[in-house]
A and B are shown apart, each in its own frame.
Chain A
């Protein structure tokens, strides 16, 4: 179980880290006054500082209001549902990069319908395939927008 307090602190630290990254990145390009007005890094530098300051503000608020933030941020049941949704997506992205978006679409829809929707494998696979074909028709043929393709499309001679 994660409490709201922990989540607040973790998120504020993360945003502060992003702010710090911006500051560090900006320092490379000069943050002062150059030949053509303010240097390229000046704006991101101060924005980064602002993010850090506001993140510290949030940390401070969380620390002083700790009592009120003891509520549950994520309980076991919610985490399970979230994981069931998110983990397949986590696999979807590398699959898409490896095998192309169409194949990944078919595999992902098949998997979720079969494992989580309780459909029979044959129904799930047919739906996955149908979805991929429909996306192909709408995007590549109707709108002429090419999507990422993989070895399967190459083998079939589709570009």
Chain B
């Protein structure tokens, strides 16, 4: 009930004309970046972040989170109408969404996607409302070793649950930590890894990395594939919306199951992309109409969309309560909090309850605003993609570089963004995961501080990570996850007799 009172107070903070107007602006900008190829939620938020430095933190986070919701919706739109996922997390929506649109059910597919996305987001926010205060209170007991253990667990789960080559995940993560280490050492205050370059004295901003890796890298990939938009024209009429709402209860099993998957993947750093694929896969496997999947089965739209948004919103929970973001976009937002002088984690709930609960309340409102805005403006945004790419492409490039410059007003950042763009292109093509790199860049200093302080506490003995039940559990779980790829290989060898090794 304590949470409920705080939430009501939060609504008081969020429900002002100014904040609701910010939500609408944020959602519109979000849909725009979600629809445009090469601009997604993480770098949309990165590009907008420097413009919010002068704003009040509550207003700024409302603008940024609303942009996040909008981007998630925009990504689904292009998946359905153009068969081009605007966001990696809406790839699974193309499987059934595009066939549905091709069969003339575009309006139904879009409405279904938006409504189930709204449902998923709502479940995620309710989860945050119920759990965040409790998690934060629990985390108040944490000291440096526990914090390091939580960070370790977050990164280990990338390795263990990532699905790509564990080596590549480690490389990506390690590079993130290495980039984060450049510049000032937060413990001793000295400079390091600058290699005599004045440009590196103030470090490498994670925002530049996100703009390059996600923005320019993604665009290069899109260009190389030769962009072709064979869009389907759609108008969403009120009649279609009402009819589709009537069909929603039919999918209650899929909605609930996908919400659970989404929330779980959002809280653990699995992220929205993994959540949507997993949810789609499960829906297909458990459905009685397996063969209809991939040919325009409505449930194939409901399942990934619900999970995607449930993960997207619940990724805010660990960011707020523990200071460990659950997705790349949440990582960028957390970096923003730190730039505004807020310290994400349990203390935030005590020091800035107006901020925390204002944000949580704005997530309810923002998602409702997003569903309404997206339903009314989709034809407009879909028409943006009919502008020839010779115009849109360079404008996106320009926006990325302007965004890179506005981060700190440094010319060197333009070169850095270009280098990160090339790296992003290579990494994406070779299946290196990028989210661990961004997370490591944002968390690098905090993780290192936690580790070094633990070492100081224990006078250099690693046994401090097994000094009490909590930290031992976290670290052991992390170790299991980190070595999971190896463990599962060994287990597979042991359970299968030698004869299979010849065929494998």
Residues on A facing B (Cβ under 8 Å): 4, 7-8, 11-12, 15, 18-19, 21-22, 25-26, 28-29, 33, 36-38, 40-44, 47-48, 50-51, 53-55, 57-58, 61, 73-74, 77-78, 81-82, 84-86, 88-90, 92-93, 96-97, 101, 105, 108-109, 112-113, 116-119, 127, 131, 135, 139, 143-148
Contacts and interface: CB of A to CB of B under 8 A. Distances in A.
A89 B216 contact: yes
A73 B397 CA distance: 24
A43 B448 contact: yes
A51 B171 contact: yes
Interface of A, secondary structure class, is: helix
A43 B397 contact: no
A8 B430 contact: yes
B451 interface: yes
Nearest to A23: B178
Interface of B, secondary structure class, is: helix
B391 A127 contact: yes
B409 A117 contact: no
Contacts of A77: 226
A86 B174 contact: no
A54 B171 contact: yes
B192 A44 contact: yes
A101 B405 contact: yes
Contact of B193 (A26, A33, A127): A26
Counting chain A CB atoms within 10 Å of each CB, the highest count among B165, B394, B411 belongs to B394
B398 A131 contact: yes
B401 A47 contact: no
Interface stretch (B128-136, B217-225, B251-259, B316-324): B217-225
Contact of B170 (A7, A54, A84, A144): A54
Interface of B: 50-51, 54, 165-168, 170-171, 174-175, 177-178, 181, 185, 187-188, 190, 192-193, 195, 216, 219-220, 223-226, 388, 390-391, 393-395, 397-398, 401-402, 405-406, 409, 411, 414-415, 418, 421, 426-427, 429-430, 432, 448, 451-453, 455-456, 460
B171 A92 contact: no
Given A42-B452, A78-B225, 13 more contacts: A15-B171, A37-B460, A40-B192, A48-B174, A77-B226, A78-B226, A82-B223, A92-B401, A93-B418, A101-B402, A108-B394, A117-B390, A148-B409
